[in-house]
Structure 1
Amino acid sequence: MSEQYQVLESDQSKRIDKLLSEVITDASRSQIQGWLQEDFVLVNGEAVKNNYKVQQGDTITWSIPEPKPLDLAPENIPIEIIYEDEDVLVVNKPSGMVVHPSAGHEGGTLVNALLYHCNDLSGINGVERPGIVHRIDKDTSGLLMVAKNDRAHQSLVEQLSGKSVERKYVAVVHGMISHEYGTIDAPIGRDPKDRQRMAVVEGGREAVTHFRVMEHFEDFTYVECTLETGRTHQIRVHMRYINHPLAGDPKYGPRKTLDLDGQALHAKSIGFKHPGTGEWMQFEVEPPQDFKDMIAFLEKRR
């Protein structure tokens, strides 16, 4: 099924890949460049290059290819299961592990490991994300809820949308935060200047992060963040927004930072009502050893 866009006067002379990344909001600029290279995008019925400058009145037509089905295979990857019953799993995901398969990450994910561990995961999110109710970034460690059936999945999703799930993270951020507590209430959406990133933008989705300072170091602050909403990269974007980006964050932080493999962020606790019994469940895990070593290093340097 093809779609069309008529180039407006305000679009004049924009690169076609940039314009389409603004029009097709659920696709990245690199994806669109791939479609252009494979002639899935036409201008006035003809193929063009990524750097084509659009003209007012151009008709852009695109037919997005169906995604290739991923071969989801169970993999014998060790995972730390904090809790499990017939409805839910709570997993402590290590830093460096992707949650579910995607382009460029077809294997070695948490989903691959879960499929080896159990074959009764919910199917609401389709074959590529069985059981996955919410996600944390590849380089973020910590706790995730996983649904083992559709009824449990629906309950956990409703709790997330109703803001009744309690999620706390710990992070190390650049700079000295002068106040002990704070709330960042700023909407998040795609960064119009870089479609690979998220940003605080007008018209974005509601995003609220509460934080409290746990410890001050020489050039950094150790904070605990509580999510009220769960937007993509929320803590990373919000801390950058208040000029305290996460240490080690390659996407939102400065180049001069601590020597880390990714952002200093750990999902330390999660609380929710059990989807079957209604009982409140609360779980907490300590940060991984490299995170603790980083804190010890900062304390010695202080």
Structure 2
Amino acid sequence: MSSNNHIVTAEEQGARLDKLLVDLNSDASRSQIQSWIKDQYVMVNGGHVKSNYKCQEGDDISWTVPEAEPLEVVAEDIPIHIVYEDKDIAVVNKPRGMVVHPSAGHPSGTLVNALLYHCHDLSGINGVMRPGIVHRIDKDTSGLLMVAKNDKAHASLAEQLSEKTIDRKYVAIVHREIQHEYGTIEAPIGRDPKDRQKMAVVEGGKDAVTHFKVLHLYPEFSYIECVLETGRTHQIRVHMRYIEHPLAGDPKYGPRRTLPIDGQALHAKHLAFEHPTTGEWMEFDQEPPEAFQKQLDELQKRS
């Protein structure tokens, strides 16, 4: 269990306790927070209150995140494209539509289930549900993902992520023609206050920086390359929507009228990092999947 503490600010006064805790726990849903309060994992000024308690400036909120109920993660013979593998690391080309790690809603069929079958040694730093997983990409985002096969490798890769020395480049198809070749989006990301299932650019969110370059313009669409300086949840999807160029096919952040593609047109194309044992600079490139490429071909025909 992990213990946490927060003093309510003037700006937060009047907020419901459960809503404020959702803002302070980006990985937890409102129903989870309410169950924590009900089961007395949350205290305000040393006492227990209800979920609808209206917070007052100066309130001392303390809470303990309960251990998740362990789920059995089973190795499954699911075909995956392992681009590179040695005794320390693996680089996988994740297909569109595959969830990275098991959860209550996706107990099987994930990349982790497949990795447990194909790679017998995975780091245990992130626990039983996320063995070997150093970073994630969304279910409907395809492309390159690095996997740690032991704890030493995991710690090294995680440190490189933290120090922003890992090179990650994505390609995406976005709505509307971007009128400048390069751009940088620097806007904080947090939970969308209007829809807790979404992220958004919000005041007080976590710092997020995305650089982009226009690769090609098509009628009503742009093909771009994005470089992540930070790795926030849904970062590229949220940032491109923020500048009014949402990703094509994005069911959560894009318009209804879009390209006939199953999920956002986003692909992790390039990944480069220092090998955790040898120190060698490793670079990997993977072209977008067939469905993505087909959409580019169709856009080219329209030009």
The answer to whether residue 95 in structure 2 is matched with residue 94 in structure 1 is: yes
| 1:204 corresponds to | 205
The answer to whether residue 144 in structure 2 is matched with residue 143 in structure 1 is: yes
Distance 1:206 1:164 in 2: 17
Bigger shift: residues 140-149 or 31-40: 31-40
Offset at residue 8 of structure 1 (A): 9.8
Q: Is the 8 A contact 1:11 1:54 kept in 2?
A: no
Instruction: Percent identity, please.
Output: 66
Distance 1:150 1:213 in 2: 38
List aligned pairs for 1:184-195, cutoff 5 A.
184-195=185-196
Offset at residue 102 of structure 1 (A): 1.2
What SS does structure 2 have at the residue aligned with 1:203? coil
> Which consecutive residues of structure 1, in runs of 5 or more, have no partner in the other structure?
none
Offset at residue 164 of structure 1 (A): 1.1
List aligned pairs for 1:5-44, cutoff 5 A.
17-22=18-23, 24-32=25-33
> Which consecutive residues of structure 2, in runs of 5 or more, have no partner in the other structure?
none
Give RMSD over aligned pairs: 3.0
| 1:234 corresponds to | 235
| 2:287 corresponds to | 286
Once the two structures are superposed, what CA deviation does each residue of 1:158-210 show, in whole Å capped at 9, x if it has no partner?
A: 11111111111000011110001111122222223322222222232222111
Once the two structures are superposed, what CA deviation does each residue of 1:268-297 show, in whole Å capped at 9, x if it has no partner?
A: 110111111111111101111000111111
Offset at residue 116 of structure 1 (A): 0.4
What SS does structure 1 have at the residue aligned with 2:247? coil
| 1:174 corresponds to | 175
What SS does structure 2 have at the residue aligned with 1:276? coil
What SS does structure 2 have at the residue aligned with 1:216? strand
| 2:214 corresponds to | 213
Q: Is the 8 A contact 1:199 1:237 kept in 2?
A: yes
The answer to whether residue 113 in structure 2 is matched with residue 112 in structure 1 is: yes
How many pairs are equivalent? Answer: 299
Q: Go from structure 1 to structure 2 and tell me whether the alpha carbon gap of 1:223 and 1:73 turns closer, same or farther (over 3 Å shift).
A: same
Q: Go from structure 1 to structure 2 and tell me whether the alpha carbon gap of 1:238 and 1:10 turns closer, same or farther (over 3 Å shift).
A: closer
Quick one: which amino acid aligns to residue 273 of structure 2?
Answer: F
Once the two structures are superposed, what CA deviation does each residue of 1:77-134 show, in whole Å capped at 9, x if it has no partner?
A: 0000000111110000000001111120111110110000122111111111111111
What SS does structure 1 have at the residue aligned with 2:206? coil
Bigger shift: residues 59-68 or 122-131: 59-68
Once the two structures are superposed, what CA deviation does each residue of 1:50-78 show, in whole Å capped at 9, x if it has no partner?
A: 8x685979999988654210101100000
Offset at residue 151 of structure 1 (A): 1.0
Quick one: which amino acid aligns to residue 212 of structure 1?
Answer: K
Quick one: which amino acid aligns to residue 183 of structure 1?
Answer: T
Offset at residue 21 of structure 1 (A): 2.6
Distance 2:236 2:4 in 1: 35
Distance 2:86 2:126 in 1: 20
Q: Go from structure 1 to structure 2 and tell me whether the alpha carbon gap of 1:218 and 1:38 turns closer, same or farther (over 3 Å shift).
A: farther
Q: Is the 8 A contact 1:87 1:275 kept in 2?
A: yes
Bigger shift: residues 224-233 or 11-20: 11-20
Offset at residue 3 of structure 1 (A): 9.1
Distance 1:265 1:96 in 2: 12
Q: Go from structure 1 to structure 2 and tell me whether the alpha carbon gap of 1:13 and 1:211 turns closer, same or farther (over 3 Å shift).
A: closer
Offset at residue 26 of structure 1 (A): 4.0
Q: Is the 8 A contact 1:189 1:201 kept in 2?
A: yes
Distance 1:144 1:277 in 2: 19
Distance 2:48 2:246 in 1: 45
| 2:157 corresponds to | 156
Q: Is the 8 A contact 1:29 1:196 kept in 2?
A: no
Q: Go from structure 1 to structure 2 and tell me whether the alpha carbon gap of 1:6 and 1:212 turns closer, same or farther (over 3 Å shift).
A: closer
Q: Is the 8 A contact 2:137 2:145 kept in 1?
A: yes
Distance 2:227 2:237 in 1: 13
Distance 2:198 2:4 in 1: 25
Q: Is the 8 A contact 1:88 1:147 kept in 2?
A: yes
Offset at residue 301 of structure 1 (A): 2.2
